[in-house]
Structure 1
Amino acid sequence: MPGFYRKALIALVALLLADLLAGALCVHQSYLTAAVRPSGGWRAVAITDAPEGGASTAQLLGAARESLRFAFTVRDAVAYPWAAAGLLRVDHQERLETADLSRYDHVTFLARCAPANALIFDMSVFDESVSTVGDLLTYPTPMTYFACNERGVPVTLDLTRLSIPQWWLLSLKRGLTDQSYKLDRVARFEFAASPQSPHNRASQVEISELTLHGRDYRYLAGLAAMLVAGWAGFGVWFLVAHARALRVSLEAKLRKDLPFVAYRELTLEPCKDTEKTTVLRFIASQYTDAALDLERVVAGTGVNRNKINDVLKAELGMTFISYLNKLRLTEAARLLTENSSSAVAEVAYSVGYGNVSYFNKLFKEEYGCAPRTFRKLKQTTAQLSNSAQCKKSSRSR
């Protein structure tokens, strides 16, 4: 059994290490990130109020591929002047399309601007119930505000909690409380001047490190399934291997205990030591008596207490109580194996134990399992042995 427990411990440690490695990998893979740049499917554009008769200006600065840089000036030529720059989702032929960003729920970026400013972040998302393909004015534009300055401000925005502006809802005759939108068809990200942006003054903005963040819970579900399968497999293996190891251990122990069966001890040179023979014979004939104790052995053999202990220690290395329990438990093991119809209580009483609970306790200490389990294991071993013999006999024919 110690060998089995060592193997089980090694298997348990290996399983724990595998689970830790798989857990770290799956958790890491479940965190999704995607960079959004003025390249690779996104095109930078500048937008102003010119189509509405405004005089605001906006222009892209340089041909940067890693950040969005633009300059704008908001001029009071119309009631609601504005200027902006954005990233349009386009295909390989530069035609407007949409991107499925439903797996992402946050966006982060670094915002630099001069002078310090309060800007608008918004998205254009296609809604098949109201949107016309290619007409961005019909796309819902959930938005929020963020601050920036010359040193740069790290910004984190929740893409699922933006607000669709009032002007868009009114223009499309939608209810002001209709704030629902989906991220499965995003056509544009936009960074625009806000009502608090400086008017009639040139401003510059740089949006860098624009990154989408989300979670893919399929990895976590896969991890959970793998953990359940792994631990279930370990549990099944442990039970089967433990039962097999216990059967082997019991077989070895029974073979080792054969010299302690009473009738074998009675063959030990009876003529050379009459007192020894008398003591062993008396215990062998009376061990099933629940009232048997050392005083009864003294009275029944006429051998003094010290001599009895000397005989048992010299011959068997045991005390009287140890030897008596050994005899009883060895006989109980034989009865459990050979007589499957006898109840455990009957076996206990027949070998000299008046208390079944005490018998169960001693038996488990001796053989490592309860009497009922011992009987089942022995029956299983016998069945396997008979099966193996039958197969061997069949092959020989």
Structure 2
Amino acid sequence: MDNTFLRVSLLPVTKSDLAWRTEKNTDTSQGGLSTLTIVDDRFSLNYNITLSRKAQYPYAAFTLVFGEDQNNPNLVDLSRFNSMSFSVKCSVANTLSFSMLTFDEKVSSVNDFLSYRAPSTFFSCSEDWEYVELDLTRLETPQWWFTMFDVELSRKAYKLDKVSKISFGSSSQSPFDVESNVQLSEITLVGRNWFYMYVLGGFLLLTWGGYAFWFFNQHTQALVDDLRNKFQRDRPLVAYQQLSVETHKDKDRSAILHFMATQYANADLSLDTMTSAIGVSRTKINDILKSELGFTFTGYLNKLRLTEAARLLKQSEDANIAEIAYSVGYKNVSYFNKLFKEEYGCPPKAFKILYEKTSHPNS
């Protein structure tokens, strides 16, 4: 996990994995009077800035320059990192800028830092310590750079594979003519190296894939066995047309079972039509079915229809689900599918496929 989740601290400078030195940048080269004084650049970034309105574009920035050789710019690859975090406070409330000077292959010249692209963002600070996290992948390149180097505004993409500097500076909303102290600590680059995650993911995928395949086969076989057992248990409850009713000594019981055995496929069959046909009251019909089989009229009717549907699905290779639903007395196929799933734990189509696979295992 340490190889996947990257964290590189820039402070203190003596323990940083990236070598860097400090640099002060102000508007004095443009005739301005803004100043920046460094208080500490070893264990924290602590500096004072005073902005003056004399220059057309007043600014003061504290810059971290990668490398230790002042004559040869050092370009470091920060493409592995997607964010930077730090804690900050200011003695006078301030809005500061953050920018990264990154080499643009089509525009930049190695020793001309003005030609480097400078994607930037802003953050605020107050007299209390605040935690800030900046997304390095969503910085905005200032418009003057596009204008100066005649670059299309639509070409917003930038790379972090050749970064020369990181700057914390003033903004157009920074206070003027007053000294402001800025302190930054715990500056950390955060990123991810997805290579190790992909390797781990591939290993887990192969491992769990093998297990899932084995589990699926075991689960499928268990489901088929359960369906077979259920089907066999239900058969004694089902009175098909060939059912002999002579064993029922009670006339009403015989009439009820015989009528339902021969009429269950009638889509219009109801408790009222059965009462009219055999002359047995609704209450007695339900009482007899409950005591004899443990079902109400509706429950037993559905049991007859669904068990017959399961038999047809099992025996007919080219069985059509809708045709079977209609043949056993259901006018609505969706309702049939719902009842069948509640009864057998899977839809009719899956039931049919499971039985076909176990009947023809090598096909």
TM-score (norm. length: structure 1): 0.49
- Computing the radius of gyration from Cα coordinates, the structure with the larger value is 1
Match of 1:161 among 140, 143, 166: 140
The Cα shift of 1:266 comes to: 4.0
**Structure 1 unpaired stretches of 5+:** 1-24, 75-79, 388-397
The Cα offsets for residues 181-204 of structure 1, whole Å up to 9 and x where unpaired, read as: 7654332345689998769xxx79
Q: Does 1:211 pair with 2:187?
A: yes
Contact 2:74 2:164 in 1 (8 A): yes
CA distance in 2, matches of 1:354, 1:297: 20
Partner of 2:43: 66
CA distance in 2, matches of 1:83, 1:310: 94
Partner of 1:293: 274
The Cα offsets for residues 294-328 of structure 1, whole Å up to 9 and x where unpaired, read as: 555569xxxx9999888766654556776676556
Q: Does 1:380 pair with 2:357?
A: yes
Instruction: Please tell me the residue identity of whatever aligns with 1:110.
Output: V
Match of 2:165 among 177, 188, 198: 188
Instruction: Please tell me the residue identity of whatever aligns with 1:379.
Output: E
Q: Does 1:36 pair with 2:14?
A: no
Q: Secondary structure at the match of 2:76?
A: coil
Q: CA distance change for structure 1 residues 92 and 276 in 2, over 3 Å: closer, same or farther?
A: farther
CA distance in 1, matches of 2:323, 2:35: 102
Contact 1:143 1:164 in 2 (8 A): no
Q: Which has the higher helix share?
A: 1
Partner of 1:21: none
CA distance in 2, matches of 1:140, 1:34: 23
CA distance in 2, matches of 1:318, 1:131: 85
Partner of 1:8: none
Question: What percent identity do the matched residue pairs reach?
Answer: 33
Contact 1:132 1:139 in 2 (8 A): yes
The Cα shift of 1:90 comes to: 1.0
CA distance in 2, matches of 1:254, 1:146: 70
TM-score (norm. length: structure 2): 0.52
Question: RMSD between aligned alpha carbons?
Answer: 6.8
CA distance in 2, matches of 1:133, 1:210: 30
Contact 1:57 1:73 in 2 (8 A): yes
Match of 1:110 among 80, 88, 105: 88
Instruction: Please tell me the residue identity of whatever aligns with 2:274.
Output: D
CA distance in 2, matches of 1:117, 1:367: 69
CA distance in 2, matches of 1:151, 1:286: 83
Residues 316-335 of structure 1: matches in 2 within 5 Å? Answer: 316-317=293-294, 330=307, 333-335=310-312
CA distance in 2, matches of 1:33, 1:134: 30
Partner of 2:231: 254
Contact 2:85 2:131 in 1 (8 A): no
Q: CA distance change for structure 1 residues 85 and 360 in 2, over 3 Å: closer, same or farther?
A: closer
Instruction: Please tell me the residue identity of whatever aligns with 1:99.
Output: V
Contact 2:101 2:164 in 1 (8 A): yes
Contact 1:88 1:189 in 2 (8 A): yes
Partner of 1:22: none
The Cα offsets for residues 261-288 of structure 1, whole Å up to 9 and x where unpaired, read as: 55897498x5xx7x34896499559832
